[in-house]
Structure 1
Amino acid sequence: MSWTLLVVAGVLEIAFAFGMKWSAGFSRFWPSVYAVATGLSSIVLLTLSLRALPVGTAYAVWTGIGAAGTATLGMLWLGEPASLARAGCIALILCGVVGLKLVSGPAA
């Protein structure tokens, strides 16, 4: 269950990043509300996952999901630069996230 909470927290971290982009520096009301809600939700779920997961592993996985997901969606939806090198770097982040999961053992 802790890993599920952590993955959802990571996805909400991606949503938070896009909310910040859409809020234009928190100058637009509803996108700002969205950014705050997704950011807080992400942190709450991360905190709940820490009941059973090591903090270093959980934090690295959380930020890895957020970074890789935000970079990927930025390339797909926002026209950010896409290259083989960027894709390779994102793949390395995801390999690290999966690796941390594999070596962390079971969690409650």
Structure 2
Amino acid sequence: MAWLYLLVAGLLEIGWAIGLKYTDGFTRPWPTAGTVFCMIASLALLGLALKALPVGTAYAVWTGIGTVGTAALGIWLFGESADAMRLACIGMILAGIVGLKLVGA
């Protein structure tokens, strides 16, 4: 169950990172509310996952999911660069997440 909590926490981290772009400096109420909800829920689920997982593994996986997802959505939604070197680096982060899951608790 801890890994499921961690996965959802990571997805919510993507939600708040992307949500920040839509808040317009926290001046738009609905995007701001959604972003704040994702922040709180993400941290709460990370806390639940930490009851059973090592902190180093859980934190690295949580931030990795957020990093890969946010970078991918940045490319898709905002037209950010998708050059080969950037995609390779994203791939290395993804490989690290998978590796930590395989050797983690």
Q: Which TM-score band applies after superposition, normalised by the shorter structure? A: over 0.9
Which amino acid is the alignment partner of residue 72 of structure 1?
Answer: A
What residue in structure 2 maps to residue 16 of structure 1?
16
**Aligned residue number for residue 87 of structure 1:** 87
Cα deviation for residue 78 of structure 1 reads: 1.0
Aligned pairs (5 A) from 1:66-81: 66-81=66-81
Q: How many residues align?
A: 105
Shift of 1:58: 0.2
1:65 aligns to what?
65
Normalised by the length of structure 2, the TM-score is: 0.97
For normalisation by structure 1, the TM-score amounts to 0.95
Identity score, percent: 55
Unaligned runs of 5+ in 2: none
Question: Counterparts of 1:18 and 1:100 in 2: how far apart (Å)?
Answer: 25
Question: Within 1, Cα distance between the matches of 2:54 and 2:18?
Answer: 28
Q: Which runs of 4+ in 1 moved over 2 A?
A: none
Aligned-residue CA RMSD (Å): 0.7
**What is the identity, as a one-letter code, of the residue corresponding to 1:12?**
L
